Amino acid sequence: MNQPMITIIGLGALGSRTAYLLAQHNLPITIIDRDIIDRTNLEHQPFYTKKDLGKSKALVLQKKLQELHPQGIIIAHDENLDSSTLHLIQGNIIIDGTDNMYTRFLINDYAKKNHKTWIYGSVLGNEGYCYVTQPGKPCYECIYHNKTTHDTCATRGVNNDVATAISILQTTLAQRIIKKLVVPEELTYINTVNNTIKHYPVKKNPSCNACSKKYVYLNQPFPITTFCGTNTYQLRGNYTLKKQLHPAIIHLTPTRVLIKARTEKEALSIHAKYLGH
């Protein structure tokens, strides 16, 4: 029997592990990531090595997984996911390996509108979270309505044990969905340092835009502009951090940030890693 395609968005510590596990189960996957591999990735993302520095995460991981599973179907896109590239998502199951809330709200809107299932996953420090948004059920926005965060993997780090635990959970949930088994409507919290696992029931939020079919992120481009003739990109948001976290972040105020980068994709990557959204 042919297995359904699963799309994984984001190939960092979490997404790369989940892609590896799904490939082991011979499940066809589409992987999407805009980032290139740098030295900060090597400690927590075990599938990348020094030989891969400067290369596309998506293309490198595709090649390595294809070598391990020659008969597997692995499609890769070295691309930023935004409202103009949602067509790259294939299949009815989407798995989250992203590093910012803007992209998750975008995925949530897309999944709700198109009746797809998506498995949210997050790892920061010693804590991990996982939740399945199913058609007609409470969604990611029901949990995180109007919330923002500036915590990222770069600022808080990643516990490899937590990343492994969440990736195993995402893989198990994907298999349950494929088999049409019941998936509980609960947010799972994992902390491997103090051996804590908690489950929080999730109910529909009456203020949720997505559940009211107001898909505000589908037509809302990320707020980025470039200065003519320069390699400086301006992004607007609500920033509370007072210190520069990366040499490319050349100016930071409560409402905007300036980032020196070669391309818009690189600027977005730096923003997501160090400032979140």
Q: Is the pLDDT of residue 254 over 50?
A: yes
Q: How confident is the model over 145-156, as a mean pLDDT? A: 67
| Banded model confidence at residue 139, pLDDT cuts 50, 70, 90 | very high
**% of the chain exceeding 90 in pLDDT:** 57
Shared-domain flag, residues 187 and 139:
yes
C-alpha triplet 113, 30, 9: angle, nearest 5°: 60
Shared-domain flag, residues 157 and 35:
yes
What is the tally of structural domains in the chain? 2
Q: How confident is the model over 262-271, as a mean pLDDT? A: 87
In which domain, by residue range, is 265 found?
A: 224-274
113's enclosing H/E stretch is helix 101-113
Shared-domain flag, residues 26 and 152:
yes
Shared-domain flag, residues 196 and 137:
yes
Q: How confident is the model over 251-274, as a mean pLDDT? A: 85
Shared-domain flag, residues 10 and 125:
yes
Q: How confident is the model over 73-84, as a mean pLDDT? A: 91
Residue 211 lies in a domain: no
Shared-domain flag, residues 18 and 146:
yes
Burial 87-115, CB ≥16 within 10 A → b, else e? eebbbbbbbbbbbbbbbbbbbbbbbbeee
Burial of 125 (0-12, 13-18, 19+ CB in 10 A): middle
pLDDT at 169 (0 to 100): 97
Q: How confident is the model over 182-211, as a mean pLDDT? A: 95
Alpha carbons 168 and 179: distance in angstroms, whole number? 17
Shared-domain flag, residues 267 and 134:
no
More confident position, 242 or 92: 92
**% of the chain exceeding 70 in pLDDT:** 93
Shared-domain flag, residues 99 and 178:
yes
Residue 100 lies in a domain: yes
Query: Average pLDDT, whole number, for the chain?
Result: 89
Q: Is the pLDDT of residue 11 over 70?
A: yes
pLDDT at 1 (0 to 100): 46
More confident position, 44 or 92: 92
Burial 220-248, CB ≥16 within 10 A → b, else e? eebeeeeeeeeebbebebebeeeeebeeb
Q: Are 94 and 50 in contact (CB under 8 A)?
A: no
Residue 1 lies in a domain: no
Q: Of 44-53, 102-111, 181-190, which gets the smallest average pLDDT?
A: 44-53
pLDDT tens-place string over residues 67-78: 999 999 999 999
pLDDT at 74 (0 to 100): 97
Residue 209 lies in a domain: no
Shared-domain flag, residues 172 and 239:
no
Backbone torsions φ then ψ of 65, nearest 5 degrees? -70, -35
Task: Single out the residue in 201, 236, 264 at which a domain terminates.
Answer: 201
Which structure tokens are listed for 11? 């190939």
Alpha carbons 272 and 269: distance in angstroms, whole number? 5
Q: Of 11-20, 85-94, 237-246, which gets the smallest average pLDDT?
A: 237-246
Shared-domain flag, residues 115 and 247:
no
Shared-domain flag, residues 136 and 238:
no
Which structure tokens are listed for 21? 């596990």
Alpha carbons 199 and 118: distance in angstroms, whole number? 18
Residue 210 lies in a domain: no
Q: Is the pLDDT of residue 151 over 70?
A: no
Task: Single out the residue in 201, 234, 264 at which a domain terminates.
Answer: 201
Q: Is the pLDDT of residue 148 over 60?
A: yes
- DSSP E strands in 78-202: the ranges are 93-96, 117-124, 127-133, 186-191, 196-201
pLDDT at 218 (0 to 100): 92
- DSSP E strands in 98-223: the ranges are 117-124, 127-133, 186-191, 196-201
Which CATH number fits the domain that encloses residue 29?
3.40.50.720
Backbone torsions φ then ψ of 102, nearest 5 degrees? -55, -50
Q: Are 261 and 270 in contact (CB under 8 A)?
A: yes
